[in-house]
Structure 1
């Protein structure tokens, strides 16, 4: 429907944004200035305690300095009421006393029919609620009051009803009120008979739960069978003009309101779980309608809360539902939009847990909810025996395939990095660096940080490896990454080695994580675009800054795959050898306190090996070394290191007057 010129301007002029927003927030009296229309409140779109949500009532715009949501009265109603553009205009126009422009005949006819269908649905709600109080509903009342522990007030609050046995109870009731048969069928309350008989009721001998949309309108019903032998324990309304099961959530409106007041959004499995949690104080609770959560339902959840907590039964079915949801969510992830998972004790649903241990136990489980990446890792690794290179390679391939499904390049890079760390912990790669100890790392050496006072068994960067070795580590890492960016077809072949690297260069780990999340069929331009989008231009600039990288043959000739393969093989081998020599140096440090003289000889031998692995020119090596009186080859730079070391422990250095003690 098109609106006449000036209609929206008139609507905005008649609408007070502060009044519209004021229905959803509590204004901060200290920061707000009502006289100037300058209002502040905690943001209704994300969870916060400070008032960072600003409304300029005179200009008619709002802006949150926390989550950066912005808009006018129309967009505010759209977001908070979960309605479309035209529905938001209708709501505001009604409040402002403005007549909506005439619709075209077909659109008006459709709107009128939806209004009639809504009226019929409310009549059905009344009928079912009344039936629960009759003799026919005695068994259903006993089930709700005694077995489920609901109070009469709770039953009334949730408008729970009962559909009695019989084929045409509701049909006859609505027909007696003069409601047309096509409206009853259009609401999904009855189904036409294929035997030429009168239509029959959809729900029979079932406890009835009304399903309402975000604006509180009854759109469908869920029914729980009283007969344990019924074909379906739970039955939902069929798809209608009002009801779309894959786009609806049970308790959507009240949950959105509770989430706006700071409660975490909990996603439970069924109607009774939602009711039990809400009655226990967890008002921001919703449930899908008997099926796995769809993309539309997930987007609806994220409109209510940035990080819903999915609380599932701790049985096999609950875990399967969680794993299916991960696959739905991965392509839709955005910055700040994710899921957390709360797995209940096996054999217990939220209602049973609340009855057994109370709300505190439920709150503790919600507080300990796991991020989605943890459940993803569990799914891919649990129960798998990874005792061979082939099985590990299969795991790597599966993980890369899963991560590639994430559309957002920045999130994909962070997931790849997290998976790389978890993989390293599983297989023991890089454990020393993540141990939190003080072992040497090239990153520290590259920054040139000198050690503190040298302890007897605690030598560090300048005594273990010089700046040359550290710089060589960084350059080899950069060449490997730059080569793979230009030859992504080799990612499958060298992905193993890339995942096991413990990066020292600035930003190298993030680039590697993003590379591992790329597809081998990606092009160089495509990968560079993903790096720019996910990590910013600085990542590529830093990677290619060293002249050695730009001069590498595999970088200068990006189309030569065989050259790239040879270069990568050589670079990985040299890097592994250099790091192996450095590790031996670190191990040798441990024996320094017991035998410092012998340690010096061993350290010099290892240092020479490390410098050789660093790829230094042989002639330069020869020029850089002198022959000491005792025959040991000592680098000139090492003289000062050894002097400092020996002086620290009370011995004269090799450059001193006495030399080494015999």
Structure 2
């Protein structure tokens, strides 16, 4: 069955002006930064239908409908998704390509794809002739067969080695730029190579097509690893390095997938016969990652460093996993000894011992309850009384089923509460939330935790003014905070940083049909009452609030630890540094 490529849809949305599309069907009048008119979906007498040209989205507060130009045609003209795309393509004067089987239309999508294939071949050839890169890989323990399996290459230390392969005259250079391989010069006079003097790891989609690269520097570059930017083909939050190779390693369904953090971790594990490892691409685990993982296996094992940063990353992965673990799905958490990553550990202890560690990985329920217990003194009445409140937001994410029931049973044992009393405690906030969700104007009255508000406002501001992403700082500290929705904020910042010309509709269209897409659409529809002149200050205030809260939480965690045991020298130094921060 053929489908329309995502790349074409993204390109189409850049060609179309939603004001023109909607204006041909609805009488619109300028209202500040937006256009307004009567809803085409209800019989209203006062206009509550708005079109935002900056976001390239429409918002109908009368019917509750909102979305992109595609969504508008689907709702207003009663078209299917494909018909709506074809209608917009006709307006833009382009043909709609289709994917199907192993054949792909060469009208739009194969431009960037072909450029990526050319780059991969070029990088492989360069590796064969560049001895320092070969020596580096040998020093890391990588053999030629494994390098060939993953098509490892080398980007030469040149500003235009790859650029010269793509002539500007026939449009090939634009394809390479659209693929994230080249960067346009600020002066507008040509382009230059994005990757220079780096060992290159091709990133493939589930069909085996190269959609991006990860490059490891061979110089003293502060950016040790550099990924391709977000493009219509490549999304860090929706792709995994090594998944195609893992699926090719067996003719049957994968019994499990091991999620690690680095390219070399995946490659070295494969060299030792552990072919079921995949890596996230420099970003936290997302719900889209989990959807992709569970399409290939029913058991996912997350592998993290055993230090504080590793456990924080594991906790963020757990929060994303909770809604996705149901039926026969299973998640486990594996923590490595200090000073080791999967690459170094498998070389030291061998594949068999590493597999034993995988089998000993901590079940999701044990990790969840173990981390929650660290926040209270379970030996006291007060500590046991606090535990249900701490567990509530996490238990709420679980679907009804055996796992939730067993976790509740274990909470009952730990707190010494009866099952009925515990269920009542876990449901304590259900009534006010239900009342809020059933009230009119849900977007304005939704109940939020204190930590959710700055995340929501920052997202609203970004969707209104994507250029704010370039102002964001200290993301490494902020993302340590265990706050629902923070992963969406971080990924949105990264998307608009890497795609400075993109607008909100493109980011939302990438998440059509997902829980994340629904959340982003809801937030985008919320009224923003901040003056244009104050957008940047308000955005930075939100990030500052989140950063300070992350610092406070880490400081409190260290103080709680100090009450139970003596802090290690590194922990003492970290605590002192945190207490001296403004």
TM-score (norm 2): 0.54
Distance 1:284 1:177, change over 3 A: farther
Aligned to 1:253: 244
Structure 1 counterpart of 2:285, from 293, 303, 311: 293
Per-residue deviation, 1:365: 0.4
Contact preservation (8 Å) 2:253, 2:297: no
1:197 correspondence with 2:189: yes
Describe the SS at the equivalent of 1:312: strand
Which ranges in structure 2 are unaligned for 5 or more consecutive residues? 4-80, 83-88, 99-104, 436-582
1:238 correspondence with 2:229: yes
Per-residue deviation, 1:124: 0.3
1:307 correspondence with 2:216: no
Aligned to 1:215: 207
Contact preservation (8 Å) 2:214, 2:227: yes
Per-residue deviation, 1:160: 0.6
Contact preservation (8 Å) 1:206, 1:225: yes
Aligned to 2:258: 266
Q: CA RMSD in A?
A: 3.0
Contact preservation (8 Å) 1:413, 1:517: no
Describe the SS at the equivalent of 1:133: helix
Describe the SS at the equivalent of 1:363: helix
1:340 correspondence with 2:249: no
Deviation digits for residues 594-631 of structure 1, max 9, x if unmatched?
xxxxxxxxxxxxxxxxxxxxxxxxxxxxxxxxxxxxxx
Return the alpha-carbon distance in structure 2 between the equivalents of residues 210 and 287 of structure 1. Answer: 13
Return the alpha-carbon distance in structure 2 between the equivalents of residues 2 and 369 of structure 1. Answer: 41
Aligned to 1:175: 167
Per-residue deviation, 1:386: 4.9
Per-residue deviation, 1:409: 5.9
Contact preservation (8 Å) 1:263, 1:283: no
Distance 1:518 1:409, change over 3 A: farther
Describe the SS at the equivalent of 2:122: helix
Return the alpha-carbon distance in structure 2 between the equivalents of residues 512 and 389 of structure 1. Answer: 15
Per-residue deviation, 1:151: 1.1
Matches within 5 A, 1:109-128: 109=97, 111=105, 112-128=107-123
Would you identify which runs of 4 or more consecutive aligned residues in structure 1 move more than 6 Å?
none
Per-residue deviation, 1:289: 0.7
Return the alpha-carbon distance in structure 1 between the equivalents of residues 238 and 227 of structure 2. Answer: 13
Contact preservation (8 Å) 2:325, 2:331: no
Matches within 5 A, 1:452-471: none
Structure 2 counterpart of 1:363, from 348, 355, 358: 355
Per-residue deviation, 1:199: 1.4
Distance 1:394 1:212, change over 3 A: same
Return the alpha-carbon distance in structure 2 between the equivalents of residues 141 and 257 of structure 1. Answer: 26
Per-residue deviation, 1:323: 0.7
Q: How many pairs align?
A: 342
Per-residue deviation, 1:106: 4.0
Aligned to 1:108: 96
Contact preservation (8 Å) 2:254, 2:276: no
Aligned to 1:143: 136
Distance 1:320 1:125, change over 3 A: same
Contact preservation (8 Å) 2:212, 2:234: yes
Distance 1:359 1:409, change over 3 A: closer
Describe the SS at the equivalent of 1:364: helix
Deviation digits for residues 215-271 of structure 1, max 9, x if unmatched?
11010000111123x131111111112111111111112223446355421111111
Return the alpha-carbon distance in structure 1 between the equivalents of residues 170 and 229 of structure 2. Answer: 23
Aligned to 1:330: 322
Which ranges in structure 1 are unaligned for 5 or more consecutive residues? 4-84, 87-102, 430-498, 502-508, 527-662
Describe the SS at the equivalent of 2:166: helix
Per-residue deviation, 1:411: 4.1
Aligned to 1:6: none
Describe the SS at the equivalent of 1:169: coil
Structure 2 counterpart of 1:405, from 397, 411, 419: 397
Deviation digits for residues 137-171 of structure 1, max 9, x if unmatched?
322211101x2111122212211111111211111
Contact preservation (8 Å) 1:416, 1:517: no
Larger radius of gyration: 1
Return the alpha-carbon distance in structure 2 between the equivalents of residues 345 and 365 of structure 1. Answer: 11
Return the alpha-carbon distance in structure 2 between the equivalents of residues 2 and 295 of structure 1. Answer: 26
Per-residue deviation, 1:197: 3.5
Return the alpha-carbon distance in structure 1 between the equivalents of residues 2 and 200 of structure 2. Answer: 40
1:131 correspondence with 2:126: yes
Contact preservation (8 Å) 2:258, 2:300: yes
Distance 1:271 1:177, change over 3 A: farther
Distance 1:113 1:330, change over 3 A: same
Per-residue deviation, 1:391: 3.8
1:522 correspondence with 2:431: yes
Per-residue deviation, 1:2: 9.8
Return the alpha-carbon distance in structure 1 between the equivalents of residues 249 and 426 of structure 2. Answer: 38
Matches within 5 A, 1:443-592: 499=417, 501=418, 509=419, 514-522=423-431
Distance 1:395 1:316, change over 3 A: same
Describe the SS at the equivalent of 1:380: helix
Distance 1:316 1:107, change over 3 A: farther
Return the alpha-carbon distance in structure 2 between the equivalents of residues 148 and 207 of structure 1. Answer: 12
Describe the SS at the equivalent of 2:109: helix
Aligned to 1:444: none
TM-score (norm 1): 0.48
Describe the SS at the equivalent of 2:137: helix
1:186 correspondence with 2:178: yes
1:154 correspondence with 2:146: yes
Distance 1:391 1:414, change over 3 A: closer
